[in-house]
Amino acid sequence: MSLSRRAFLTQTGLIGCSLAASPLVTPVSFAATPGENRLIVIILRGGMDGMGVVTPYGDPNYAALRGALPFDGPQGAIDLDGFFALHPALAPLMPMWQAGQLAFAHAVSTPYRDKRSHFDGQDILEAGISDLSQGLSRDGWLNRMLQHYPGVTTETAYAVGRDALMVLNGAAPVLRWSPNADLALSPQALRLAEIVMAEDPAMAAALAKAYDLADSDGDPIAVEGGMDEMMAMVRQDMKGAAQGRTETRVAKFVADRLSAEARVAAFSLNGWDTHNGQARSLPRALGRLAQTLLALQADMAPGVWDRTAIVAMTEFGRTARMNGTKGTDHGTGGAMLMAGGAIRGGRVFTDWPGLSEADLFDRRDLMPTSDVRRYAGWLMPGLFGLSHGMVEGAVFPGVDLGADPGLLA
């Protein structure tokens, strides 16, 4: 009896029977580019409260909006520069700050205004465009960067997972993989796959790549228990995701790939929507972010961290005032984070607008004074040699880069 490749893939569950549809999966996208510099883009989904993360306690109007900021004790804020203070949940990152490898940009946003929808805000953030009036761009700004980078080489395109990561959608081929989407087959099934694919070099190469990626997150491909063993691995992965271990696995996977051929990576972290009980939810999200950054630093091969820039961006900030449920609602201006050995850190980049009621956007939000695209755009000439005109015209159409803020070491 002959067995087609399509039938084999369907019957063995090689595609589609893992965690691809699980909302706990964190998809990671990669692209290999020439050169030694690396760029990691982290999308912070939900709207991070920039004023809660990097607090402008030196603004004379801050205390009236949110109350005095405690500095005493292990749970107190950490002074950065006499005006801004860091949330205590990010205290593990202070060695990066002191080493000049951590920075923030404040009072920033995308061009998105007024409607404050997570969906539209994230679409604009990842597309890197000014608005949605002409229809949503089908490609993301990080993919457009790759399209205009001379001599780009990439692995075969590969996609697994529910979140397509629009920031890397586009014509430039990228690898897509979710570390929690296990590929688990019996030894006999693995051998059968090799036999079936042997007559098709392209499929054989894709299968070999799938083996390589599946092995790279630490879980074995070959399992003696067949489907029962595979489902046990799936349940274990879901349990680990619920307990917050997914970020560590993602970081290790990204670090391993960037230590090899990949030069660009993107993934997302959820949990930044703090409508109520922000004192509980924001520290949890910040703890996961800190853990992710520290794991990236620790797991990269020697010297790779020094050539890496990380930018963490969110779709919008949150209201300047706390609401009645001790949370913050969807806002406008916020903050973004930059880290890595390639970053000239130890600074908060901002044109601070002030927090008097007249200074607030719509008298409710932090007024944005700069575009998140400007900071992301200024990384590209130094890291990958793109011209300013290419960044302003093709990668982030319509953005004004302005003067060089000096982000790179």
In b/e form, how buried is each residue of 206-215, taking b as 16+ CB within 10 angstroms? ebeebbebbe
3-state secondary structure of 237: helix
Burial class (CB in 10 A: 0-12, 13-18, 19+), 409: middle
- Please give the Cα distance from 70 to 405 (Å, whole number): 31
- Please give the Cα distance from 149 to 80 (Å, whole number): 36
Tell whether the torsion through CA atoms of 53, 41, 342 and 256 is positive or negative.
Answer: positive
Distances (CA, A) of 327 to 20, 48, 274, 277, 299: 33, 12, 6, 5, 35
How confident is the model at residue 233, as a pLDDT?
Answer: 47
How confident is the model at residue 202, as a pLDDT?
Answer: 59
Q: Which residues pair with 41 in a beta bridge?
A: 266, 311
- Please give the Cα distance from 321 to 372 (Å, whole number): 22
The series of mean pLDDT values per 10 residues for the chain, 409 residues long, is 41 36 54 83 96 98 94 88 97 98 98 91 94 76 86 42 74 75 52 62 57 52 49 49 66 88 88 95 97 96 96 98 96 98 98 98 97 98 94 95 96
How confident is the model at residue 346, as a pLDDT?
Answer: 98
Residues whose CB is less than 8 angstroms from the CB of residue 141 and which lie 6 or more positions away in sequence, other chains included: 126, 127, 128, 167, 373, 376, 395, 396
Q: Where are the domains of the chain?
A: 32-155+261-395
How confident is the model at residue 100, as a pLDDT?
Answer: 98
**Paired tokens of 277:** 């009980």
What is the layout of strands, in order, in the sheet containing 78-79? Answer: 54-55, 85-86, 78-79
Q: For the whole model, what pTM was predicted?
A: 0.81
Per DSSP bridges, beta strands 370-371 and 102-109 are: parallel
Residues whose CB is less than 8 angstroms from the CB of residue 338 and which lie 6 or more positions away in sequence, other chains included: 102, 103, 104, 105, 309, 310, 311, 312, 345, 375, 407
* Residue 161 φ/ψ region, left for φ over 0, alpha for ψ in the -120 to 50 degree band, beta for the rest: left
How confident is the model at residue 21, as a pLDDT?
Answer: 31
Q: Are 304 and 258 in contact (CB under 8 A)?
A: yes
How confident is the model at residue 331, as a pLDDT?
Answer: 97
3-state secondary structure of 199: coil
How confident is the model at residue 148, as a pLDDT?
Answer: 83
